[in-house]
Structures are given as C-alpha cells and as structure tokens.
Amino acid sequence: MQTGWWENFFHGVALDFWRAVVSDDQTREEADFIQRQLRVSDGDRVLDVPCGNGRLAIRIARRGCKLTGVDLASEFIAEAKLLSQDSDLDIDWQESDMRALPWRGEFDGAFCFGNSFGYLDDEANGDFLQAVSQTLKPGSSFILDAPAVAECILPNFQPQHAMEIAGIAVSIEQRYDHEQGRMFNDFTFTQNGITDQRPTSQRIYTYHELVELLQTAGLKVVAAFGSLDEEPFKLGSQRLLLVATKSVPD
C-alpha cells in the first residue's frame, strides 16, 4: 500500500484535470441530490468533507444552507476561499485531515463526494466515518459517494485507459490486489509537454463491508442508489450513493 500518497497527489496538474473533468451540470445535479437526500434547507448546517475546491459546498450555500468544508489540499482550500468570497458567501473552510473533525452533534447533514473515500487503511477509514458520525445531530443523514465499491469497479475493470481533456492527457494503469482488497493506480499526466507521474491506491470494499463500517460508526444505511436519478444500486452500477442516518439515542 502506498502510504500517504494523497498528501502529495492533490496539487498542480491533478487539480487542473479535476476542474476540467467535472462539469457545471454535474455539480448542479449532485447538489440537487445532496440537498434532496439530506433534507436540508435554509439555515441548516451542512458538512462537506473532503470539500476540494468547494464546488458543491458553494452551490448548496447559495441555496441558504450554512456550509463547512474540510480538505487537506491547500491549493483547493485557497481556491474555495476565493470562490466563496466572489459569491459573497460565508463558508467555514478548514485545511485539515478529513479525520480531524472537532465538532460534536452540530450538523444537520454531511456528505463525502468525488470518490474521496477509501484512501486509508481499514482502521483509518473507519476513523473517518466515526468522526463524521460524531459531527451529526441524532437523526441527521450522511451521504457517501463510493464509486470504487467492488460491485462497481470489478465488473468493468480495465487495466489501462487514457483520455485527454482541456489539453491535459492522462493515462492510467490499474492493478487490483485481491489479497489486500486494494486498487493500485499509476497516473501519468502530460500538460504543455511536461509529464508528471503520480501513484495512488484505494481500498475496494464490497457493499456489505461498507455498510458494516457505517453501522460500526453509528450510521444506519437507509438507501442505496446507483445514480443521481435514484436508480436502485445493483451489480454493475457505475456508482454507489449510500444514504445513512445517525442513530438516535434510546
């Protein structure tokens, strides 16, 4: 397992590529889904972790919710601050590890989007879910976007693929290690004649394993969708969107 790869991956050309690959329509559709499934409205506090450059947090904040965004990537946090200032939005941006969430029972909803789960080992991934759970008010919901779940990844597995978007050529070599239950990816970015190689890895949980992790953190899964259109999740779906609710004390 590549330890701490995420600490050095999210800067420069990788962020340029991410900005180019995510359309405004996708952001709008994801924000609609999040707001609908979290059942949040004006004045409700919502946590976006990790938040990237704030594309979703900003969109939802424009609708009246009070957003907090947490991310380890300093470039993305700086960009999020500028974008929210340009929109005259008061959003609390925190540059921090996604497990370091100090709030207790303060949020009406939370979400983790952008295939941002599973970078760590099992214990640390569980720590993240526990940290999110502790931030939520009882009965509030959390949405986990998990397109790297086994039922999505393995039926469509391709060891190599390449693309070019906005002048950035990207090739990806992938290897699945069944003993570790991890996918190892080697990214090669080429922009303006400059090549940059960056390795990543991600834990590939099964649906059942993921539900158990959430339950251990006090989050009960209440819905599983295979798309933003709320199609039921099934083997071969391109995406898994899990909606889980924070347990209410007896």
The pLDDT tens digits of the residues spanning 142-194 come to 999 999 999 999 998 999 999 999 999 999 999 999 999 999 999 999 999 99
| Pairing label, strands 136-145, 182-191 | unpaired
Residue 90 pLDDT more than 60?
A: yes
Q: Answer yes or no: are the C-beta atoms of 197 and 219 closer than 8 Å.
A: no
Q: In what order do the strands lie in the sheet with 194-203?
A: 160-165, 168-177, 182-191, 194-203
Residue 140 CA to residue 52 CA, distance in Å, equals 23
Please give the full DSSP string across 1-57, using - where no structure is assigned.
--TTTHHHHSSTHHHHHHHHHS-HHHHHHHHHHHHHHHT--TT-EEEESS-TTSHHH
Q: Contact, 233 vs 155, CB < 8 A?
A: no
Task: Provide CATH code, domain 6-147+205-246.
Answer: 3.40.50.150
- Domain segments of the chain as ranges: 6-147+205-246, 152-201
Mean pLDDT of 214-232: 97
3 exposure class (CB count in 10 Å sphere: 0-12, 13-18, 19+): exposed
Distances (CA, A) of 39 to 50, 104, 243: 20, 20, 11
CA distances from 172 to 20, 93, 114 (A): 17, 31, 18
Rg (CA), the chain: 18
Give 171's strand partners: 162, 188
**pLDDT band at residue 58 under the 50/70/90 scheme:** very high
Residue 241 in this model has a pLDDT that exceeds 80: yes
**Mean pLDDT estimate for the chain:** 95
State which amino acid sits at residue 70: V
How far is residue 8's CA from residue 14's CA, in Å, rounded to a whole number? 10
CA angle 178, 149, 199 (to 5 degrees): 65
Alpha carbons within 13 angstroms on the beta-carbon side of residue 171 total: 7
Over residues 108-127, the mean pLDDT reads 96
The percentage of residues in the chain with a pLDDT greater than 70, rounded to a whole number, is 98
Q: Give 216's contacts (C-beta < 8 A, 6+ positions apart).
A: 126, 129, 130
